[in-house]
Amino acid sequence: MNHDGVDAYRQSQVSSASPGQLVLMLYDYVIKCLKDSDQRGACKGIVELMGALDVDYQEISGRLFSLYEFCLDQIKKGNTEEACKMLCEMREMWAAAIGNLTAEAGTGESQGEPGTETTKEKTDVIA
């Protein structure tokens, strides 16, 4: 079976994804590996998640790093269900955060930057 088309599609998805979407893809990969009993793949994915942490935000990145370490430890102990449960919850929280940021960016309310006024504000200026 020729997988060139599938590989090209996946490459296109990755290259056009936002950083947040890439993190979601990593979560999806790790969760799939855990469900497929691929502990090695799951560990590799978690290490990638650890490497993607922004150390400029030490408080949150430190906490996430600890959670990822816990998941790695659980996988190594054979407790993949606990790791999968935790990673699924973290993935859902990440997806919700991305959804909130996307919604705020769509309305222009996220940062209050010039040029990001809402449609109501634009029509008030015109009127």
| Residue 61 or residue 119, greater confidence | 61
The model's pLDDT over 17-32, given as tens digits with 9 standing for 90+, comes to: 787 889 999 999 999 9
Name the residue with tokens 């990638």. Answer: 48
Walk me through the domains of the chain, giving residue ranges and CATH numbers: 4-126 (1.20.120.340)
pTM metric for this prediction: 0.71
- Give the tokens for residue 99: 């959804």
Question: How crowded is residue 64: how many other Cβ atoms within 10 Å of its Cβ?
Answer: 18
What does the DSSP 8-state code read for residue 77? Answer: T
User: How is residue 46 written in tokens?
Assistant: 């978690």
13: confidence class by pLDDT, cuts 50, 70, 90 = low
CB count within 10 Å of CB 23 equals 21
Helices (H), 36-79: 39-51, 58-76
pLDDT reported for residue 15: 61
